[in-house]
Amino acid sequence: MDWLLFLTNFAVLYRAGELHFTLNQCAWLGGIWSLFYMLTSLAVGFVISRQNARLILMFSAALTVLSAVLCLVAVKFQPLLLGMALMGIFTAFFFNSFQAYMRGESAPGGLMKTVGIYTLSWSMGSGLGFISSGFFYRYGSGMLTALSLLVGFIIILTVARHQRRPFEQISSEEQSEPGPDGTRPVNARYVWVGWIIIFTGMFVQKPLTTFFPTICAADGINSFTASLPLFLVFAVQALFGFFMVRWRQALYRRFPFAAMQVLAAVLFFAVWIRPTLAVSFLAFSLLGIYFGFAYFCSVYYSSNSGNRVFNVGINEFLVGTASLLGLFISEWWMRFTADSASMYAVCGFIMIISVIVQFLIAFPKSRPKNFRI
């Protein structure tokens, strides 16, 4: 599904650059999905259960495909805006129900591996969506539409044919997963940390995926070349997110996530200072490490404590909220400074602020005797 979402996203925004849409119009095309995704996720988190997740998953997949087709064939601003809004609604149902389905199909103790595979799958799907959209864009909307319908059919068929885990068997939905000996125990404060991490990750990633294709199209860079740095972000994100399965000792600790986010801020500042295509290739690749770490942690923390469906619903609500704020704050700052590269500075400063807030929330003033950084 992420392949379909990002194939559509890239095609719509690259076409917007070709048609010389304003930065504000491009921000709305990227942001309207986030707005409706955010509002729908907040409501969906209260109604999805292990029992109804599969049915919701199949219907939302079909409706998402239809809304993607509308986006791929439209050429005017208003129908494109409508198509992206509908995709926001239907993908909110899809991704929230999929995570509930994923936890219900995972045996106790298997959540770590399941979240790792989930991070690998959606991240690689996103990257392939960008690069395949960049490659097939030259063949027109008919080719992109045919690919979307084919992938939608495969998704629905795969879910329908899957042999479900019996409801009477305990799953990761009902139990928390402790780490092995020597690792920090599950800490409920990290649900909040996970929420802040996903907010920050989406805040800084959404301007990249929205404005980078538009800027490249306006500068005359061909669609395939423009898609490559974005593919690298998600490809590295996928691999590092899956690597996190073997790095359980880094969870529920402050130093790893602080180091990752500070280094990500440095990379954003580097692209701001020198916004060339070569620097973008290198920095975007390295940013994939941060995003892989961040998205794995946010999903794992939310899925491993308390009311998991509600926690993930808040996660997905924050995906939409952060995307909107990242888009419009970056768009405003780019217009104010008359410099498209200034969005990278906004992202860098947000990263630093986020780390400080996470420290204040995650760690009490008094340290336990067995405290470990």
CB-CB neighbours of 73 under 10 Å: 15
- Indicate the pTM of the whole model: 0.70
At residue 371, the pLDDT reads 38
Rounded mean pLDDT, 358-364:
72
What is the biggest distance separating any 2 CA atoms in the chain, rounded to whole angstroms?
64
Question: How much is the pLDDT for 69?
Answer: 93
Region for residue 33 given its phi and psi (left: phi exceeds 0; alpha: psi -120 to 50; beta: otherwise): alpha
- 253: tokens are 């600790």
**Residues whose CB falls within 8 Å of the CB of residue 40, separated by 6 or more in sequence, listed in order:** 88, 89, 92, 93
At 101 the pLDDT is: 75
- Please, which pLDDT band fits residue 369 given cuts at 50, 70 and 90? very low
373 pLDDT higher than 90: no
- What is the per-residue pLDDT across 324-355, written as a single tens digit (0 to 9) for each? 899 889 989 998 998 888 999 999 999 999 88
pLDDT of residue 372: 44
Most confident stretch, 83-87, 278-282, 358-362 = 83-87
The 8-class DSSP code of residue 305 comes to: S
Tell me the CA distances in angstroms from 254 to 69, 197, 204, 312, one per residue in order: 44, 12, 21, 22
Cα 272-273-277 angle, rounded to 5 deg:
70
Q: Nearest Cα to 64, choosing from 4, 124, 121, 3?
A: 4
**pLDDT value of residue 112:** 67
Q: What is the CA radius of gyration of the chain?
A: 20
> How does pLDDT run across 130-160, given as a tens digit for each residue?
888 888 888 888 898 998 899 889 888 888 7
List the structure tokens of 51.
């029992």
Domains of the chain as residue ranges with CATH: 2-163+186-362 (1.20.1250.20)
* Residue 230 tokens, joined: 């974005």
Asked if the model's pLDDT at residue 45 lies above 60, the reply is: yes
Residue pair 210/329 in contact (Cβ under 8 Å)? The answer is: no
